[in-house]
Each structure stands twice: as C-alpha cells, then as structure tokens.
Amino acid sequence: MRLRKRALENLDQDIREHIEMETQDNIDRGMSPEDAHYAAMRKFGNVTRVKEDTREVWSFVWLEQLWQDVRYGLRMLRRSPGFTVVAILTLAIGIGANTAIFSVVNAVLLRRLPFPEPEQLVSVQLYDTILKAPNEYLSIPTFFDWRRQNQVFNGMAAFSDYTCTLTGAGRPVHLNAEWVSADFFSTLGVTPQLGRGFLPEEEKKGSNFAILSDGLWRTMFNADTNIIGRSITLDNKSHIVIGVAPPGFDFPIMTPPVQIWTSIGETRWYDVRGAHGLFVLGRIKPGVTVTQAQTEMSRIDGLLAKEYPDSNLRYGEAVVVPELQHLVGDARSALWILFGAVGFVLLIACANVASLLLARSMTRQREMAIRTALGAGRSRTISQLLTESVLLALISGFLGFGLALWGTAGLLRLVPQNVPRISQIQMDSKVFLFTLLAAIFTGILFGLAPALQSSRRSPFDTLRTSGAGAGFSGGVPQNRIRSALVVTEMALALTLLMGAGLMLQSFVNLQRVNPGFNPHNALTFTFDLPKNIYSNDQKTIFYGQLLDRLNSLPGVVSAAAAVTLPLSGGDLRTNVEVEGRPVLNGTAPEEEFGVVSPGYFKTMGIPLLEGREFDSTDTATSPLVVIVNQAFAMRYFPNENPVGKRFKAIDPGRSDSPMREIVGIVGNVKRGALNEAPEPDLFLPYQQEFVGYLTLVVRTQGSPEAVMGTARELVHSMDASLPLFDIKTMDQYVGESVAQPRFNMILLMIFAALALGLTTVGIYGVMAYSVTQRTHEIGIRMALGAQRKEVMRLVLGNGIKLALGGIVAGIAMALALMRLLATLLFGISTYDPLTFAGVAIALMLVALAACYIPAHRAMRVDPMVALRHE
C-alpha cells in the first residue's frame, strides 16, 4: 500500500519533467521551442493513457474506475428518465418472472433433501419384466431378503402409508400414519428429538411401538416430555410411544404430513411374499454408484425370482434411482420447461433493452468520440458502458426481486399441491443470489453489443461530422444489429406462443374428456372403522346400514360406497386368470380392481352396458360375482359376451382364489388421470371382498356441500368416535387431477403474453427509430415526387421483412423445441400445423400493427420541414 502511494506520488510531475527534458534535447538539436515541444509530446505518446496504464499497474485502480463508472452511469440514467424507466421496467419483469420460477425450481428440484449426505439416498424398486416398468411396491419378505443380501447399502428402510384413528387423547383424530421398518430413522440419518428410533426387534410381527411427529406431540400431547414409554391408542390397539421426531421432519413427504410412524410388524401382510405394499429407501455406501447398486439389486432379484417363482418370477430385476429424482417425479420435466420458457422472456427483454441502448448510443456518439480522443482506451470505454448496463440490470434486479416476492404469492395459489416440496417455496439467499447473477448476466448480455459497437467507431469520423449528420455514420451496421435483435425477439416470442398455444389446446382437450362418470353434485367422504371394535363382518353391516340411511336423506338422489374412487389417487391390483386359460405361476396379468357397494355405478353415473349392478342379493354366502369394464371385456373376451364367463382375481394372501362370474359390464372410467387410455378394470361387491374401509359417495339434488352436515350427523349418530376426512366433491377430484396441466398452461400463457407484449414494443421501437433516422431521406423522396402511399409501403415493407425473418426463424426454433413438450401434451401433435399457422399469422398481424404507427408518421413527413431540419 505504502509502496503504491509513494510510487504514484508526483507521477504528473515526473511525466512533465520527462517531456521538458525531451523538449530541451530537441531545442539543443536546433528545433524551434514550439516544434520541440510537439515533437516531445508525439514521442511520449498519449499522456492520459500513460497515466491510466501506470495507475492500473497498482491494481486497485479498477475499483476506483468502477466507482467512477458507477457514479457516471447513475448520472447518465438520471439524465434520460424515459429510457431508464422503460428499460428498468422491461428488465424487472423479465428478471422478476425468472426469479419467481427459479424459486419454484429451487424448492422442488434443486434443494437437497434435508438429511445428512442426501445424495446417498436412493429409491430401490422392483422391475416388472412383463410390463417393462418399475414397480415401486415391495413385499415385506422380499424387503428382508434385499436388506440381508445386499453389499451396497449402509442402510435400507421400508415404509408404507396408512391411516389410523387416535383415541383417548380428547376427541378421536384421524392420522396420516406410516408403517416403517426398524432402520427407517437411522437410514435417513435422523435422530428423534425425544426418546429413540426403532430397535431391530421392534419390527417383529405384532409389535406395537410408535414415534410421534413434532406437530402431533405438540397439538395432542401438549409437548409433554414424559410421553416416552406411555401408551396411546391407535385403532383401538395400545401402542408404546418410544420417540418424538424432530421438528420439520416429514418423510415420506405427504400432504397433510405424516403424523405417526409405527412398525411394519403391524401389517396383516407381514409374511405374504406376493403382497406388494412397501416403498424402499436405501443409503448407498460411500464410493458405490447408483449403477453399481442397481446391478447388485438386480442380481439379488434374479436369485429371488428363481427361489420364489410364484411371487417373484416377473420381478427378476431392480431399478435404483436417486431419491430426490424419485420424489420429484413428473414435476421435473414440466418445471424445467417452464424455467426455459421464462428464460426466453428474459432474452426478449434483453433484446429490447439492447435495442434501446443502441438507439441511445447514437446520441452519445460524440461523447464516446471525445472520450477516445482524450485518451480513453477501447477496453476502458467498453467497461464504462458495461458498468452502465450492469447498473441498469442490477436496479432492475432489485425491482424484479420485489416483483417475484409478490409473484410467488400468486404462484403459490396456482401451483398444484400434489407437487412434492412445493409448499416449501421461499425467497432465500439462494434465490437472491440467482437474481443477482441473472441481473449481472443480463446486464452484460444486453450491454455487450452496444458497447462493442460504440467503442469501435473512429472518433475522428464522428467529430468531423457534426449535428444530425452524425446520425448517419455507423448507422448501417447499427440498424443491422437492431434488425437482428427484432428477428431474434420474434423467433423467441413465436416459440413461446407456440408452446402456450399447444398447452392451451391440450388443456381444452383434457377438459373435454369424458371421465366416464358424472362428477357434478357428488359428495364423497370417508372414515376408518377401528379394527378392534369392528370385525370385518360388523364393518360391512355398518356400511350397509349407513348406506340405507344416507339413501333416505332429503336432498340425496342415491348413495354408494367404494374403494377406490376414480381420480382420487389410490389403486388396488390383483392378478387375473380366466377360467380355462391357465397361466404360468407368477405371470398372470395384473389389473386394477375396485370394491363397490350396490348402486355404485348408478350413483357415480357410470353407464351399465350389459348385465346387472350388484344388489342386496349378493352376499358373503351367495355365488361370487364380479363386474368388469368395457376395456376388460375387450381384452379378455374380444369376440364373445363376457357375461356369465368366470375368472379368478388372485389374492396373494390365499393359496387358492375362487372363480367369480361376470354379471355385468360397465363403461370405462378414467381412474388415475384424464389423459390415460382405457385400461381393464374389475369390480367386486364389498359384501364378498372387503378390504377394510370404503369411501362414501353421495349423489345430491342440489349443492353437495348442503348435504355434508346431515351426513356427518348421521355417521356420528351411529358411532360418535369416528372422525370424517377427505370430504370432497368429485368435481374437486377432477380439478386436482388437472391441476398440473392447468398450472403449466397458465404459466406458459403468461410468459407468451409477456413475450408478445415485449416483442410488439421492440418492433415498434425499431421501426419508429428508423423512421426518425430516415426523416431526411423520406423528405427528399417526397420532394422528388414519391407518393405518400409509397412511403408508407416502404416503411411497412421493411417491417414485414423483419417480421417474416422472425417468423421463419421462430418456426425453425419451435420445430426443434416443441418435442420437449410432447409428454405434457394431450390430444394434439407437437407439430400441429393449425397452431403453427395461427401463431404465425397472429404474430404477423401484431408486427404490422406495431409498424403501422411509424409508417403512418413517415407518410405525414412534410418534405419542407424534413429538409430544413438538416
């Protein structure tokens, strides 16, 4: 530091002395004093540059220069408020939109799982070699084999969702619960805040231990620290509390979150190898790759398939995926696409501002020329201009961050709640850093071309020409850049419009899909009948009585019960073996089945195509019956009438499953999603095949909500301790099933609208500017006899040329990019020619409209005024 100060001291004087010495030498050689001085100056070179270069040796200079540039930049921005406001608003919208989407991407895709070494966590799944698809669900015996035989995991945990009722702690509460294996908490690397995790012996059959969530502990047990070792009642069975999970712990991620973890020892399918019900999470040993883990698990599955062909033959392979990826699932590609789309919006904003800057740089040409003449190096000029643009971008970035804060609040209302981790969106430091980087990147991006351009111009030409004439020098390449910017903008906008157009149509198609049932005026709710109070027989009696009473409620058209309801997210599967067509062990096709009450199809509005519905004559002792849907009939009985045919719905828990007779055929129903193709379904009467719980569905005359109160009273009059939950209308289920496509569509529409708006402004700006620039030329043309119409055509022609360029480039870009949307689209091709044509025409019209005002102004140019202007 001191060295620097001392060295730089008197630099001016040193240089002056030097020049004086040289001058003296020249005089000694016989030059006139004046000539001698100039010769010395020439020989010395550019004094200012030398001083700057010398100072620069002492590095800190760049900081001083930066500070200078910043102050100067702020002054310049203040001096042209119109430009500044437009540029900042444009960029703030672009950066803000990007920040908002990034906050979603960050929360859902990027944030690490909140566990130690989260990258070691993987989801381990079976691979179904017949369906050629992974099967996430595992049976408990297979899980034990996996855990015992593998060499690649440091811990392996299994878990399975269920619900239960907590009684004895005030009002009965319905809980989201999880059966877990003993190493669940240790594999995740989580230690309970109170008590301990499960011990190996606590996952044995029939064990009854529970770990509470922090929330449950606080709300139901008043954060009582003496809770450990106490007994609580779940589904009328006593459980010993051994721990309380730390606050914020939620795994597996569910809405609403899991409230209690109990042992897999409680499941009734504990030792059934064919009962697939567990998710498996593994912690890979350090140094082992996901691929190696997959190879190892496939090896084990191959052995198991040989050892237990009945249950495992088709699952001779395994799939291992990083847990984060598994968790995020389908949301992944959609979010990246949205992120890309919003990036386009920012690029368009950049192009607009670059275009503005170029126009402004014309008016600053003389300033730049003077700077260069006074000794500013090219890099110095560029860095000053870049400082200005980055400054502009940073101001916009701050504003954009504010916009994003406001925007994410809106986003949160819009986002589908079934996207994992979406509720954890927050504007944290990472998001702020993103905004900052986006702003700096943006500033350099839109500032670079204008800065390079301005600095390239020769100062002499600029200074020599004066006044309006200065506008012409350098105008030609500049206009070329501006044109290129407009073409780029239009191409980007067209691509976004195309994406939005396809998504919109896809969404409309989705809305038009007939779900196969009538979702309007249908109320649904459910409750759990505790196992220890109600035997299965008692449960079926309870449901039977409840249905009778519901059916006679005023305002109720009909009532029924089923598990699971379409679009509600659950599924039950069974293997099908048709009578007279024996299949190899373990290879019987798997189909989805439902358990329904009499009147279910009528209540849901599902058409009965043939045969009959279930009725009260179907009982536990009557002949076993089944109803199938159209797709089932088509697949298994393509050329015959299925009614009267028989097949087995194989129950893995039973050694031999009985034959059932088909008594009816019903229409196909969308089970999982509106965009799925019809799949075979079969339905069993709840009186004959009861899975332990049912969801009630009530068809109402008027608003479904109106009936809710009386229905609740009715249930409570039969058993006051039953909490009702999942109270929803079928319309809500349908709405939730399209929440994700709706979110994608709305966002793409917003981005496309922003893009279109910005592009329109961009085209208008370029055309208006070129007309102003050419006022003189237009004046001459008109003085020489050009008609107003011709002038207008000239300007419009230019605009059309630009627009066509943009549209052609945009179509090429869209053709290349639209296939990314393929998985998100429904009922429309990514190359839909009508959409392409429509978007292209719409963009053309917008471009024409944007050109019209400048063209009109050009037409009105008064040749006298224009020429005098010179």
Partner 1 sequence: MSTKEQRERIELLQGTLDLLILRTLLRGPVHGHAIAKAIEFDSDEVLQVEQGSLYPALHRLIKRKWISAEEGTSENNRRAKFYKLTAKGRRQLMVETNKWDKLAGAIARILRPGEQEGQP
Q: In whole angstroms, give the CA distance from residue 405 to residue 96.
A: 8
- The nearest distance, CB 45 to partner 1, in angstroms, is 4
Site membership for partner 1, residue 16 (CB under 8 A): no
**For the chain, what percentages of helix, strand and coil (3-state, to nearest 5) are there?**
55, 15, 30
Point out which span in 54-62, 87-95, 311-319, 323-331 binds partner 1 (CB under 8 A). Answer: 54-62
* Count of positions on this chain that bind partner 1 (CB under 8 A): 29
Site membership for partner 1, residue 1 (CB under 8 A): no
Nearer to partner 1, 21 or 85 (CB): 21
Spell out a b/e string for 76-105, using b for 16 or more CB atoms within 10 Å of the CB, else e: bbeeeeebbebbbebbbbbbbbbbbbbbbb
Nearer to partner 1, 17 or 119 (CB): 17
Query: For residues 821, 824, 830 and 833, what is the CA-based torsion angle, rounded to 10 degrees?
Result: -120
Nearest to 182 by CA among 160, 156, 161: 156
Residue of 22, 203, 317, 613 interacting with partner 1 (CB under 8 A): 22
- The nearest distance, CB 29 to partner 1, in angstroms, is 12
Range 58-117, binding partner 1 (CB under 8 A):
58
Would you say 762 and 351 are in contact if contact means Cβ atoms under 8 Å apart? yes
CA 372, 377, 378, 380 torsion: positive or negative? negative
Residue of 27, 31, 50, 481 interacting with partner 1 (CB under 8 A): 50
Q: In whole angstroms, give the CA distance from residue 817 to residue 498.
A: 10
The residue type at 439: A
Residue with tokens 């966590």: 121
Encoded tokens for 792: 């207008």
- The nearest distance, CB 321 to partner 1, in angstroms, is 55
Nearer to partner 1, 41 or 572 (CB): 41
Q: In whole angstroms, give the CA distance from residue 744 to residue 101.
A: 12
The residue type at 99: T
108 secondary structure, DSSP code: I
Q: In whole angstroms, give the CA distance from residue 104 to residue 737.
A: 20
Site membership for partner 1, residue 378 (CB under 8 A): no
Helix-then-strand count for the chain, H and E = 28, 22
- The nearest distance, CB 455 to partner 1, in angstroms, is 21
Site membership for partner 1, residue 726 (CB under 8 A): no
The residue type at 501: G
C-alpha Rg value of the chain to the nearest Å: 37
- The nearest distance, CB 11 to partner 1, in angstroms, is 7
Residue of 43, 378, 801, 819 interacting with partner 1 (CB under 8 A): 43
Residue of 31, 56, 333, 432 interacting with partner 1 (CB under 8 A): 56
Q: In whole angstroms, give the CA distance from residue 511 to residue 521.
A: 17
Site membership for partner 1, residue 374 (CB under 8 A): no
Nearest to 483 by CA among 23, 697, 62, 804: 804
- The nearest distance, CB 426 to partner 1, in angstroms, is 47
Burial zone of 845 (CB within 10 Å; 0-12 exposed, 13-18 middle, 19+ buried):
exposed
Nearer to partner 1, 8 or 427 (CB): 8
Residue of 44, 62, 67, 336 interacting with partner 1 (CB under 8 A): 44
Nearer to partner 1, 19 or 427 (CB): 19
Range 23-42, binding partner 1 (CB under 8 A):
24-25
Nearer to partner 1, 56 or 719 (CB): 56
Nearer to partner 1, 59 or 621 (CB): 59
DSSP H stretches of helix in 80-120: 81-105
Largest CA distance in the chain: 132
Nearer to partner 1, 3 or 476 (CB): 3
Point out which span in 16-24, 107-115, 181-189, 799-807 binds partner 1 (CB under 8 A). Answer: 16-24
Range 218-237, binding partner 1 (CB under 8 A):
none
Nearer to partner 1, 55 or 364 (CB): 55
Nearer to partner 1, 25 or 661 (CB): 25
Residue of 49, 237, 716, 793 interacting with partner 1 (CB under 8 A): 49
- The nearest distance, CB 13 to partner 1, in angstroms, is 8
- The nearest distance, CB 56 to partner 1, in angstroms, is 7
Point out which span in 9-17, 322-330, 405-413, 552-560 binds partner 1 (CB under 8 A). Answer: 9-17
Residue of 11, 110, 583, 706 interacting with partner 1 (CB under 8 A): 11
Q: In whole angstroms, give the CA distance from residue 778 to residue 586.
A: 84
Nearer to partner 1, 45 or 469 (CB): 45
What DSSP element (H or E) covers 590? strand 590-596
Site membership for partner 1, residue 45 (CB under 8 A): yes
Nearer to partner 1, 4 or 549 (CB): 4
822 secondary structure, DSSP code: G
Nearer to partner 1, 8 or 848 (CB): 8
Residue of 27, 31, 37, 47 interacting with partner 1 (CB under 8 A): 47
- The nearest distance, CB 753 to partner 1, in angstroms, is 54
Encoded tokens for 645: 């045919």
Would you say 368 and 381 are in contact if contact means Cβ atoms under 8 Å apart? yes
Site membership for partner 1, residue 17 (CB under 8 A): yes
Nearer to partner 1, 3 or 784 (CB): 3
Integer distance in angstroms from the first to the last C-alpha of the chain? 55
SS3 at position 285: coil
Q: In whole angstroms, give the CA distance from residue 300 to residue 312.
A: 11
Chain residues binding partner 1 by CB under 8 A are: 3-4, 6-8, 10-11, 14-15, 17-18, 20-22, 24-25, 43-47, 49-51, 53-54, 56-58
